Amino acid sequence: MPALVPVQVEEAVLARPPVRRADLLAAEVPVALVFNGIGHAVMMATPLDLADFALGFALSEGLLDEAAQCYGIDVHAIDGAPAGLPPGTDAVEVRLEIATGCFERLKQRRRSLAGRTGCGVCGVESLAALDLATPGRPPRDWAAAIDLPVVLRAFDQLAPRQALNAQAGTLHAAAWAGLDGTLTDVLEDVGRHNALDKLLGRLARQRRLAEPGFVLLSSRGSHELVRKCARLGVAALATISAPTALAVQLAEQSGMQLWGMCRAPRGVRYTPR
């Protein structure tokens, strides 16, 4: 299933006649996450790196405690018509086989989620179901090396590495950088939290979550992004726009170094203070 969809558009410029041309748009399709045969969530996502996305979602939402509790992931394109989707609407089902204990826990906390681009808590039915727990982590000595020059060096590499966004102009990116600011991984999606789950899932699959480094996001720092990183032990997060007050609060609780407004030559460090 393609991540980019070709379309014909009419581009208008003031004082010039309209021009018909070919363009590319980011695909946004329903992705059903199915655990041991039971559907848990439907997220709107770009159909790329979906195995990484599913594992990252399961870990960052607390459905799994570690990647080893996922025994297998299968990605299937499905016909959306039987589910009542409009004709021609593509859909994907990602089937995960997980440990029995995790599945029992999932069934106990199971709720219906309807994901939308940029959403963080869609489908939460009550305040009690709004899980804002962020486990505290011991400080990492190496995190002191993540200063403004390192953060800006990493962001300087981000846009050139966003291959899909360069063509469609509408995708977020989540990236991993080493302590020297060099990017090693860049994952893209129409949803900022989806892009982050893809990145976290890839790092988990490769057993790299404990390595020194930090996460970059081409978005604001919202609370669910901080919570996802904190759950997986990420020591530092840097975003191109500002965080929310709740995001700073959660970062402080977890001991995470949080940067925002990272636009050269400026950057703001919100935690620790």
Q: Of the listed 102, 119, 122, 229, which one is catalytic?
A: 119
Residue 50 buriedness (CB in 10 A; 0-12 / 13-18 / 19+): buried
| Residue 119 a catalytic site member | yes
CB-count exposure of residue 178 (10 Å: 0-12, 13-18, 19+):
middle
d(CA 117, CA 131) in angstroms, rounded, equals: 20
Distance CA 265, CA 273 (A): 21
CA distance 144 to 125: 40
- What's the CA gap between 230 and 254, in Å, rounded? 6
Question: Annotated catalytic sites, by residue?
Answer: 119
